[in-house]
């Protein structure tokens, strides 16, 4: 029996201040473990917490070494579920406060993750005829579903391997398979539980899941060290995976805040300092909406995260705001029929692909400018009898999960020869002259090219956005021609407005039926 020596203890690294575990691997298992020394951080600088974590890690190491000595063994179904239970607890702990934010696991796909797809019956010729007659339904949708399944299966296998490695288990392929299935079952249960929590249902949670997460009191949060604005924001941005443009703008916001208050320490930032900064921006003539939704919103979000993660005692930005009065004649509006006709007529005379095609695509799809500017040749596809555009994250940055979609190509766009342009285009971006800007978006370059052209046509109303006004117009036309609201939202990449809208799929045929109601050139 291998005893833990009484003198064994964590040691502190002077560079980071954290305690580390250092333990020699027994000679009889060193070859199997692949190392002679275990050496890693306990991720705490608190001596008492370090001792507790050290003792836990030593127990895990001893169990791992014992498993290596025992050699390969089967993992029972019961044991597999016990091992995978930690994933269930982790999911509920992580998403408990905001259960609807869970996007890692798809329950509709997870319900039959390991069911093999049905094999088509009949001869090759019979199957081909059925496919031409549309008897197989939307095969693309089935392909996408299988692709999602493949991604989740791969993820489950990776998690099973991680659990095996962490526990130091030595098992065969049958044991690995048992644990992989248990991982998927734990994730499915956790996701279904989160869906119930998202609907406001009472859910009984296990003792392993953190039940209460109160706002920390001043006596429970140590605030002896400064909390640098820059480091704090980078940690927030990394966890939230902020897009490049937001990172850039919010980082500049904290630089401006530091310049105003004269320091970069979030721990000593006060509400009075923030109010003084706000008042200075008002005095400088900044728009109230910019101050509220740009500067203050960024600071409030980061400081709220810092407080929740016990980096600061409280959020001094809470309650700091500025009144925003809506005035008539402000805000972006859509193009009128006359303005749209003028723009599309001018576009038809252009040889430059950006000016010729992008306005018409925006007009007939309601898509965002950046989504159109980054379209690739492979994003234009014939699905059954319908030509469609794919808005995909693979092409470049998109706004959110709902932005990824497939849109039928309006007959007006086809009649102008768009498909001929696509056929002659080289693989890759359809508009190669639009290079990505410093944030990786082609839409920024598109704005610089299209904006002056639109203004030169005499459309100089400041409420007109050369690109976004098409999106407003599309919604106007959707109401004029009585498009179904849920389908109009699906076309433009807006999320479902109600619980009912989340049920079922929005089929391409239904989308084409609705989009063709719009008369583009009237």
**Predicted TM-score of the model (pTM):** 0.49
Q: How far apart are the first and last CA of the chain?
A: 87
Domain match, 50 and 95 both = no
Does any domain span residue 362? yes
Q: Return the residue matching tokens 């299935």.
A: 181
Which class for 329: exposed (0-12), middle (13-18), buried (19 or more C-beta within 10 A)? Answer: exposed
Q: Which of 366, 386, 362, 358 is nearest to 512 (CA)?
A: 386
Enter the tokens of residue 141.
């949708």
Count how many domains the chain has.
4
Domain match, 90 and 163 both = yes
Q: Say what the pLDDT of residue 498 is.
A: 52
| Four-point Cα dihedral 382, 388, 392, 396, nearest 10 | 100
Q: Using CA atoms, how far apart are residues 36 and 33, in angstroms rounded to an integer?
A: 8
Q: Say what the pLDDT of residue 418 is.
A: 95
Domain match, 345 and 437 both = yes
Sheet order of strands, 11-12 included: 11-12, 19-24, 37-41
**pLDDT tens string 305-358:** 888 777 887 788 888 888 776 655 567 899 999 999 999 999 999 999 999 999
Q: Using CA atoms, how far apart are residues 37 and 97, in angstroms rounded to an integer?
A: 40
Domain match, 349 and 416 both = yes
* Other C-beta atoms lying within 10 Å of the C-beta of residue 292: 17
Domain match, 87 and 162 both = yes
Domain match, 399 and 293 both = no
Rg (CA), the chain: 29
CB 495 within 8 A of CB 489: yes
Domain assignment of residue 159, given as a range: 77-114+140-198
Cα–Cα–Cα angle for 238, 254, 286, nearest 5°? 130
Enter the tokens of residue 418.
């768009």
Q: Which of 365, 374, 204, 234 is nearest to 311 (CA)?
A: 234
CB 354 within 8 A of CB 431: yes
Q: Say what the pLDDT of residue 123 is.
A: 60
Domain match, 271 and 168 both = no
Q: At a CB cut-off of 8 Å and minimum separation 6, what does 157 contact?
A: 176, 180
Does any domain span residue 359? yes
SS3 of residue 248 by DSSP: helix
Domain match, 171 and 237 both = no
Task: Give me the average pLDDT of each 10-residue run along the chain (522 residues).
Answer: 52 73 81 73 83 82 74 80 87 83 84 71 59 56 77 88 77 86 92 88 64 39 65 87 86 92 89 90 88 90 85 82 67 90 94 95 93 94 93 82 88 94 94 88 89 92 88 93 90 69 72 92 66
Does any domain span residue 455? yes
Q: Using CA atoms, how far apart are residues 352 and 358, in angstroms rounded to an integer?
A: 10
CB 171 within 8 A of CB 82: no
């Amino acid at each position: 029996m291998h005893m833990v020596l009484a003198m064994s203890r964590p040691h502190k690294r002077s560079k980071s201040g954290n305690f580390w575990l250092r333990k020699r691997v027994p000679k009889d298992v060193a070859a199997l473990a692949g190392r002679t020394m275990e050496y890693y951080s306990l991720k705490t600088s608190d001596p008492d917490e370090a001792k507790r974590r050290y003792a836990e890690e030593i127990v895990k190491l001893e169990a791992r070494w014992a498993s290596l000595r025992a050699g390969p063994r089967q993992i029972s179904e019961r044991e597999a579920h016990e091992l995978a239970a930690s994933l269930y607890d982790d999911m509920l702990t992580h998403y408990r406060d905001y259960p609807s934010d869970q996007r890692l696991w798809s329950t509709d796909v997870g319900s039959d993750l390991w069911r093999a797809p049905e094999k088509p019956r009949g001869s090759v010729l019979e199957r081909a005829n059925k496919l031409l007659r549309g008897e197989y339904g939307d095969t693309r949708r089935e392909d996408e579903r299988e692709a999602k399944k493949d991604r989740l299966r791969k993820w489950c296998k990776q998690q099973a391997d991680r659990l095996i490695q962490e526990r130091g288990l030595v098992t065969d392929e049958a044991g690995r398979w048992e644990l992989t299935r248990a991982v998927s079952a734990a994730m499915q249960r956790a996701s279904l539980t989160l869906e119930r929590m998202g609907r406001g249902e009472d859910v009984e949670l296990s003792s392993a899941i953190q039940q209460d997460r109160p706002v920390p009191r001043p006596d429970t949060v140590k605030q002896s060290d400064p909390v640098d604005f820059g480091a704090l924001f980078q940690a927030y941005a990394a966890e939230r995976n902020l897009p490049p443009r937001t990172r850039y703008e919010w980082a500049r916001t904290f630089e401006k805040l530091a310049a105003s208050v004269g320091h970069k320490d979030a721990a000593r930032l006060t509400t009075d300092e923030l109010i003084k900064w706000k008042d200075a921006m008002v005095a400088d003539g900044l728009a109230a909406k910019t101050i509220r939704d740009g500067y203050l919103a960024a600071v409030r979000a980061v400081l709220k995260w810092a407080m929740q993660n016990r980096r600061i005692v409280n959020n001094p930005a809470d309650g700091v705001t500025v009144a925003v009065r809506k005035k008539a004649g402000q805000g972006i509006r859509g193009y009128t029929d006359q303005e749209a006709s003028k723009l599309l007529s001018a576009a038809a005379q252009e040889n430059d692909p950006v000016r010729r095609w992008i306005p018409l695509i925006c007009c007939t799809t309601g898509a965002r400018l950046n989504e159109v500017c980054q379209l690739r040749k492979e994003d234009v596809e014939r699905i059954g009898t319908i030509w469609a555009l794919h808005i995909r994250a693979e092409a470049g940055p998109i706004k959110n999960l709902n932005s990824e979609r497939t849109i039928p190509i309006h007959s007006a766009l086809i009649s102008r020869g768009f498909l001929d342009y696509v056929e002659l285009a080289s693989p890759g971006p359809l508009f190669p002259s639009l290079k990505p800007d410093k944030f990786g978006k082609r839409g920024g370059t598109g704005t610089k090219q299209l904006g002056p052209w639109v203004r030169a046509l005499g459309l100089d109303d400041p409420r007109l956005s050369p690109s976004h006004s098409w999106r407003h117009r599309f919604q106007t036309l959707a109401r004029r021609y009585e498009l179904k609201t849920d389908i109009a939202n699906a076309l433009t990449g807006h999320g479902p407005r109600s619980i009912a809208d989340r049920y079922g799929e929005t089929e391409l045929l239904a989308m084409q039926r609705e989009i063709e109601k719009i008369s583009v050139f009237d």
